[in-house]
Structure 1
């Protein structure tokens, strides 16, 4: 458990060094959305749904009555939520987002940047096995160890991704400034907030007008920072370096 806490602390600390946290929040959450679609739910709903959810909320929020380590509370809460199965669809995805929100609520994370779906996909058999062992045999120990390992390894993986994104951001910024020394820094940040961008994104963020935004994005294509793709009637600009980082294991 100490190892998982230490890894979370390192992750939370290094995330604060990013020039724009959206660089991480948006890109990591996109990975979560992709990963979550590959995981199925295994439990059915219950007639006493409201009572069960209320009990779960009390367990999660009443730290005086249930004074246990936040990581253990997260793991127990995740099992309970999946067992309650309150929705017809999307329970697994919601449960994994709940993990992150619990860690933020308990002060272990400052921002929603830890998503466990990748680990669970890579260890899917163990996930279902340990969930079922809790239900059938009350075997909490192996389930808790599984979730602590998931937190530890996912935190370390996310730290690695932060470092890769930060290094690529600096390399890209240096490359852009050689060609366009007066380019607004906010534009450089914007192309790292998600793997693709459109001119309207810069307009909505009040960075540039539509025509100026399109001109800047086209210029970044000319120096191979972005790649222009025509999707329907829209021009979409792809940050292939960021895509490469997010898709690599």
Structure 2
């Protein structure tokens, strides 16, 4: 396959690949262990009283790390304050807003595929728009998009890849990609293998002017949910990619330059296996701590119940209003008394930020720190 990185890669082969990596023994073995690891997450998710409580814990970590891959950084403290509304909207930094948009895009995409039963172009574009807070769509044919080396890299600014472009070119390749994902009769590979292959193809097509990396990583999770391999889009996949970022780009390049699919598929399956184990460990730790805190809370506070306990574990930072709304308590005096009881029982610890006081679930913070 002749390839000139300075020319649009309009010869990007359509899916499926000409090489059937699924028949490789090493790939098959890794596929089995990755699939088993994913299954453990689902069994743990079923133990949760409310699986969507992971939106502001594990899903938020995924959003933060996926955004950091694009050199957009924020701190856990900023994120938790923004999620719990302990800081005003106008005081939230742009980087933190980017992470929150990623989280919203993840859950909006989750709702879309639950309703439609598939990942289509509208879902892809909607995900991208949510991430970028934009009304843009597929790159126009005249846009001279290129991928360059980062400023911290050797030969910074050098063109390393030029994605396809031209009238109808991107649209045709996206149509092929979406058909590959959804038509299991025509393309019957294992869904995990298809996810690996489709992720490369999406990044190689590079359908948008910006935000392709984050959009592609969300699509990975949505596809696993769509194929019932993941009950909720909470796989902490970006952590593996962040730690092994050099290998990630090396293996992507290997497919583009040499059609070398096997190392890429093994890399992605290993990412699924390792992050599934990590994600499952986080979920189990949260469940176990929830159960211990519920027993402790009920034995020390007469009004403490399962619903309050779930709310306290729905996010690391808690504003009194969250519990007040749950218990229909409008009296500030009563709410202050309740939170004093939570502090005395060491379930929460107070933290003052200017005139506002919010409360921290230290046990949950420790779990999320790993």
Normalized against structure 1, the TM-score is what?
A: 0.90
- In the alignment, structure 1 residue 21 sits paired with structure 2 residue 41: no
- In the alignment, structure 1 residue 209 sits paired with structure 2 residue 209: no
| Equivalence for 2:138 | none
C-alpha change, 1:85 and 1:17, in structure 2 (3 Å) is same
Tell me the CA shift for residue 232 of structure 1: 4.6
C-alpha change, 1:50 and 1:214, in structure 2 (3 Å) is farther
- In the alignment, structure 1 residue 229 sits paired with structure 2 residue 351: yes
Whole-angstrom distance in 1 between the partners of 2:224 and 2:171: 24
Match of 1:40 among 65, 70, 75: 70
**Is contact 1:18-1:166 (8 Å) kept?**
yes
Tell me the CA shift for residue 112 of structure 1: 1.4
Whole-angstrom distance in 1 between the partners of 2:41 and 2:174: 30
**Is contact 2:62-2:234 (8 Å) kept?**
no
Whole-angstrom distance in 1 between the partners of 2:195 and 2:336: 45
Unmatched runs of 5 consecutive residues or more in structure 1: none
Q: 1:190-205 alignment to 2 at 5 Å?
A: 190-202=311-323
- In the alignment, structure 1 residue 119 sits paired with structure 2 residue 119: no
1:188-224: per-residue Cα shift (whole Å, max 9, x none)?
Answer: 11010111122333456x4433445554334212322
3-state DSSP of counterpart to 1:37: helix
Match of 1:8 among 29, 38, 41: 38
Alignment size in residue pairs: 247
Q: 1:121-160 alignment to 2 at 5 Å?
A: 121-160=242-281
RMSD of aligned C-alpha atoms?
2.1
**Is contact 1:81-1:95 (8 Å) kept?**
yes
Whole-angstrom distance in 2 between the partners of 1:67 and 1:25: 32
Match of 2:209 among 88, 109, 112: 88
Whole-angstrom distance in 2 between the partners of 1:189 and 1:14: 16
Tell me the CA shift for residue 23 of structure 1: 3.5
**Worse-superposed segment, 155-164 or 20-29:** 20-29
Tell me the CA shift for residue 233 of structure 1: 4.6
1:89-132: per-residue Cα shift (whole Å, max 9, x none)?
Answer: 33222211111110111111122121310111111111111111
Higher RCO (CA < 8 A, seq sep 6+)? 2
**Is the helix fraction higher in 1 or 2?**
1
Tell me the CA shift for residue 239 of structure 1: 0.9
**Is contact 1:195-1:239 (8 Å) kept?**
yes
Rg larger in structure: 2
- In the alignment, structure 1 residue 54 sits paired with structure 2 residue 54: no
C-alpha change, 1:62 and 1:45, in structure 2 (3 Å) is same
3-state DSSP of counterpart to 2:68: coil
| Equivalence for 2:143 | none
**Is contact 1:198-1:237 (8 Å) kept?**
yes
Whole-angstrom distance in 1 between the partners of 2:171 and 2:273: 33
Unmatched runs of 5 consecutive residues or more in structure 2: 1-30, 72-146, 148-160
**Is contact 1:44-1:85 (8 Å) kept?**
no
Whole-angstrom distance in 2 between the partners of 1:118 and 1:100: 14
